[in-house]
A = this chain, B = another copy of it.
């Protein structure tokens, strides 16, 4: 079963307005097994709105309109739905009296405009609004679908949805079990990942697979819908196993946890701690590691060594250029030692836009990982994009290098952005 959500009102088309109603409704519909295939925001224009509703009703089973139910002439949702369905409207005096009583209770005088709110589309059930004046409407279509009119203000809409729309719709849809799998992956580009896993998920329309990418971080969502929970679970397991086999330890999380939480969990399990020494990321790594509540159990602190003499202050003399393997290794070793941490991660690189050299062009970052009194290593990366992206990539790659060190025995493929040049 498919759905479309239409928000009505020119004010919703401003450069700062977000249609949050559709986010709530999408979540609710998905839980019922109803798939949202399109959303729209339409200004106060009768012809445009009517056309949009007609198209939606023709191709989708559920059409939800939020807003445009007020008393002014700009409030056109009722007219547009009636026109799109080719039916009329009937004025119901008892609805107007109900609204008038509400106004009286608030010590306000009702205006004649409010009569518009008492117009009911022929064939509609009226949905009482317990948090405002505009009643909603519920109309079954000849094709067996449904059109719902709900108020725009979120607190009125959510209350009406929960108490009136959701139960009616739940009775219409076949009960459906949903099972999901959520992988998070680091160290790959989106196109590289998709090329690798597309053969595994493309043959399936159920579960649906969605791939979402940010700098240095990719999410894969699988969602299966079946008549039984067992069938749905079997389907996500089937496709999930295939993806798992292809990506292996590149998958750092199977429950949606971000990389910093996974790293924190590994450290906590081992009762170990981490410190940082940051040059090009200059705080991003420390900020990420402390996003998670409770991070004081495993994060100690660190050193922002942006200026080169602060690098020297931490490690003694520089044994190589500021952006080099030697410096990254020395920074990580010194940070672990100085902060009294079991582990330390370091970054030193060229985030740009200036400062690139032939040996270290913009995007080059050395990332070091050291265990206090143990092995230390550094790797050279070359990240794409502008200053902001290079710094984000470097932060994710640094967290991922530590994760790999903390997951012994993992056979891990190399990162896309490792660079030996």
Interface residues, chain A, with chain B CB atoms under 8 Å away: 10-11, 13-18, 23-24, 26-27, 30, 36-43, 45, 48, 51-52, 55, 59, 70-73, 106-108, 111, 113-114, 131, 133, 155, 189-192, 194-195, 198, 202, 208, 210-212, 276, 278, 281-291, 293-296, 299-307, 309-310, 313, 338-340, 352-355, 382, 384-389, 391, 416, 419, 421
- 7 additional A-B residue pairs with CB within 8 Å, beyond A73-B198, A302-B303: A15-B26, A16-B210, A37-B42, A37-B48, A38-B48, A51-B55, A310-B339
Interface contact A352-B306, CB-CB below 8 Å: no
Interface contact A108-B189, CB-CB below 8 Å: yes
Please measure, in the bound complex, the distance between the C-alpha atom of A114 and the C-alpha atom of B296, giving whole angstroms.
45
A321 to chain B minimum Cβ distance, whole angstroms, is 15
Interface contact B282-A287, CB-CB below 8 Å: yes
Please measure, in the bound complex, the distance between the C-alpha atom of A248 and the C-alpha atom of B218, giving whole angstroms.
45
When the two chains form the complex, which single residue of B111, B191, B285, B309 contacts A70, counting CB atoms closer than 8 Å?
B191
Which residues of B lie under 8 Å from residue A55 when comparing CB positions?
A: 51-52, 55
By beta carbon, the residue of chain B nearest A335 is B304
Which residues of B lie under 8 Å from residue A114 when comparing CB positions?
A: 191
Which residues of B lie under 8 Å from residue A295 when comparing CB positions?
A: 306
In the A-B complex, the 10 residue pairs with the smallest Cβ-Cβ separation, listed nearest first, are A283-B286, A283-B283, A15-B27, A283-B287, A282-B290, A301-B310, A301-B306, A301-B304, A302-B304, A15-B26
Interface contact A38-B37, CB-CB below 8 Å: no
Given A14-B26, A305-B301, A309-B340, A107 and B382 contact (CB-CB distance below 8 Å): yes
When the two chains form the complex, which single residue of B16, B23, B42 contacts A212, counting CB atoms closer than 8 Å?
B16
Which residues of B lie under 8 Å from residue A421 when comparing CB positions?
A: 107
Q: Is the interface of A mostly helix, strand, loop or mixed?
A: mixed
A381 to chain B minimum Cβ distance, whole angstroms, is 11
Cβ contacts A to B, 13 pairs, < 8 Å: A15-B30, A15-B210, A18-B23, A38-B40, A48-B59, A276-B304, A282-B299, A283-B287, A283-B302, A286-B306, A287-B391, A300-B310, A302-B304
Interface contact A301-B282, CB-CB below 8 Å: yes
Which residues of B lie under 8 Å from residue A338 when comparing CB positions?
A: 313
Which residues of B lie under 8 Å from residue A286 when comparing CB positions?
A: 278, 282-283, 286, 304, 306
By beta carbon, the residue of chain B nearest A354 is B293
Please measure, in the bound complex, the distance between the C-alpha atom of A304 and the C-alpha atom of B416, giving whole angstroms.
30
Which residues of B lie under 8 Å from residue A283 when comparing CB positions?
A: 276, 278, 282-290, 302, 304
Please measure, in the bound complex, the distance between the C-alpha atom of A285 and the C-alpha atom of B211, giving whole angstroms.
32
By beta carbon, the residue of chain B nearest A284 is B287
